[in-house]
Amino acid sequence: MSRAFVEIDNVAMRYGGVEGTLALEGCSMNVAEGEFVAVVGPSGCGKSTLMRLVSGLWPATDGNVVVAGREVDEPLSLVGMAFQNPTLLPWRRILDNVMLPLEVVPAHRARLRRERVAYEQKALDLLKLVGLEGFGAKYPYQLSGGMQQRTSLCRALIHEPPLLMLDEPFSALDVFTREDLWDVLQQVWMARKPTVILVTHDLREAAYLADRVLVMSSRPGRIIAERKVPFPRPRTMETTFLPEFTALVADLRAYIAAARRGEEVV
């Protein structure tokens, strides 16, 4: 494994002053460059807080967050994010929604006007990759929830971010659409190899997509267990029927159950 791209060292996060809620405490983890890491944990354990700390949206109360060798003390400007809601802009066509980051990221916005055609082609390629060929001129309301989430994924990827943060991106979708999108995400990751941190409730999703699964304790959250996922890629639905896969998911479930009871696990 290469050097750590994201280093989180003994981080704590407390909301609302000295007496406020402690969301994270003693939380440490490393993510290598190009690695796909999933973070799972009981609900309310501070997974989303962790994401916001890593992307520099919020400052940590204590400890260090280092991304790409630099201490994070302001929004990083290189992170692609996608959330449970697609949060597309309803007044923009799909293609323009995907291209929004290019109008914002300082490195791209300067070149966007001159190289509009090349950038547009990039966006179209990306839409094709996620199975949305021919939908660029539609408006978000003309697309189903799953297609909107694909668009949101494209928007997170268009500026080729070295770090992709996904906060339960598929949890609002039905099971079949979700599994389709696992494959889309896996394909994108294999094609581009960004560093990915995926926060999810879905243990099968974590086991299907990640190189490594980290389990968080209940609040205050910290990493209490780690499992490597050995299955070769590309993984398919058949992978999920393997006894090893089922065993891994069962293990993860046991960790979470223990975490919810507040027990220590190693």
Partner 1 sequence: MSAKANARLIAMAAAARRHRRLQAWLPWIVIFGTFGLWELVVHVFGIVPFILPAPSDIMEAAVKWWKPLLDDSLQTLFTTLVGFGLAVVAGLVLGVAIGSSTLIYKGLYPLLIAFNSIPKVAVVPVLIVWFGIGVWPAIITAFLISFFPILVNVATGIATVEPELRDVLRALGARPIDIIRKVGLPRAMPYFFASLKIAITVAFVGSIIAESVAPNAGIGRLMMVASSRFDVPLVFAGLITTGLMGIMLYWVAEWIERRTTGWATRSTEGSNFTPGG
Binding site for partner 1 (CB under 8 A): 52, 55-57, 75-83, 85, 87, 89-91, 100-101, 103-106, 135, 138-139, 141-144, 146-147, 155-156, 159, 165, 173, 176-177, 180-181
Give me 95's structure tokens.
């293609």
CB 265 to partner 1: min, Å? 31
Nearer to partner 1, 54 or 249 (CB): 54
CB 259 to partner 1: min, Å? 26
CB 227 to partner 1: min, Å? 28
CB 3 to partner 1: min, Å? 23
CB 186 to partner 1: min, Å? 16
Angle at 101 between CA 100 and CA 105, to 5 degrees: 135
Nearer to partner 1, 41 or 101 (CB): 101
Nearer to partner 1, 159 or 235 (CB): 159
CA distances from residue 161 to 45, 133, 189, 216 in whole angstroms, order as listed: 27, 22, 12, 26
Nearer to partner 1, 79 or 129 (CB): 79
CB 57 to partner 1: min, Å? 6
CB 66 to partner 1: min, Å? 17
Nearer to partner 1, 72 or 256 (CB): 72
Cβ–Cβ under 8 Å, residues 217 and 255: no
Nearer to partner 1, 104 or 190 (CB): 104
User: Cα(181)–Cα(170) distance, rounded to whole angstroms?
Assistant: 8
Nearer to partner 1, 72 or 213 (CB): 72
